[in-house]
Structure 1
Amino acid sequence: MTISELKAVCDGCKTVVGADEGALWISHQAVKEQEAAVRSWKAHTEAKTLSGHVPVHSYQEVMDYPDAVRWAVHHNTCAPACFDSSYHVPVQQLRTWADLTPGQPTSWGRAGCRQRLAAASRIRGAR
């Protein structure tokens, strides 16, 4: 089985990001805003749930659920201003699907992979 290398494509200029040229990143501020929006959504929608009952949501409530924060890829030269205050992983550490797989020994190491996935799981919302 051959391992095909992932190609990171810059969200700014739409060209491939080479090793040491950029990163996969997510904004800390956007994550905080999304987490606050989810807490607000839950408080609003679950306030109507009777004590001891499973919450049931209308179609509109489900559609109003806050969008997950999107990861982005940028060259160092194309990165927006918020890049410096973001969580980012250099693209050279994410070159194969195995690099994105939990528990696999990678250039991150097992512990680093778990930490990054734990951070990512706090970002994703249930849909």
Structure 2
Amino acid sequence: MDRELNIICQACSKPLGDDEHNPGNLWVSHAELATRRAALAEWEREHLAPAADGSGPPMVGFRTMASHPERVRWRATHEACDSPADADAYTIASRRVRTWLDVVKWTSHLMGKTWINDTNWSTVIGEAAEGRSNLIQPVG
């Protein structure tokens, strides 16, 4: 199937290639995921603890929500630019995300990962679908 999408390297702003020609990866850091999970657990202990009278968790205001730990960002880099250590990242080779069907298949696969909601994957694919992503862009 012909390429429909380009994955853009965040180090050099050029499209990632396939196999031998400028290969690269979409990736998310396991270390950042662990840090976010710890911060989220602490945030929930501080802000969502049940009320002393047993009436349930308090209402959470805007200011409190603004302190909610951010989701871990997906990144894309050529292997030559800034590829992460394989042991510290979940990677998807750029050659495996060439079409919208590939994005759907990867989304289905990633939904089975316990950490996917700790990432910005939904934002990545939403922005790509709307044509306003700096990570995944239509060819042409």
TM-score range for the pair, normalised by the shorter chain length: 0.7 to 0.9
CA distance in 2, matches of 1:97, 1:46: 38
CA distance in structure 2 between the partners assigned to 1:93 and 1:86 by the alignment: 17
Scaled by the length of structure 2, the TM-score of the pair is: 0.69
2:37 aligned with 1:35: yes
CA contact under 8 A between 1:27 and 1:83: conserved in structure 2?
no
SS at match of 1:35: helix
CA deviation string 1:82-113 (max 9, x = no partner) = 43321101011111122122xx5xxx7xxxx6
Once the two structures are superposed, the pairs formed by residues 8-23 of structure 1 within 5 Å of their partners are 8-20=7-19, 21-23=23-25
Give the whole-Å Cα distance in 2 for the aligned partners of 1:74 and 1:49.
Answer: 46
Corresponding position of 1:123: 118
Aligned equivalent of 2:128: none
Matches of residues 25-104 of structure 1 in structure 2 within 5 Å? 25-47=27-49, 49=51, 51-80=54-83, 82-84=84-86, 85-101=88-104, 104=105
Distance in structure 2 (CA, Å) of the matches to 1:97 and 1:83: 27
Structure 2: distance between partners of 1:52 and 1:40 = 21
8 Å Cα contact 2:49-2:58 kept in structure 1:
no
Distance 2:102 2:57 in 1: 38
Gaps of 5+ in 1: none
Aligned partners of 2:117 and 2:25: how far apart in 1? 20
Between the aligned partners of 2:10 and 2:68, the Cα distance in structure 1 is 25
Distance 1:57 1:70 in 2: 25
Q: TM-score, normalised by structure 1?
A: 0.76
2:11 and 2:97 mapped to 1: Cα distance? 19
Counterpart-to-counterpart distance in 2, 1:83 and 1:38: 25
Q: Deviations over 1:22-47 (max 9, x none)?
A: 00000000000001111010000012
Structure 2 distance, partners of 1:55, 1:95, is 46
Give the 3 Å change call, closer, same or farther, for CA 72–92 of structure 1 in structure 2: same
Count of equivalent residues: 113
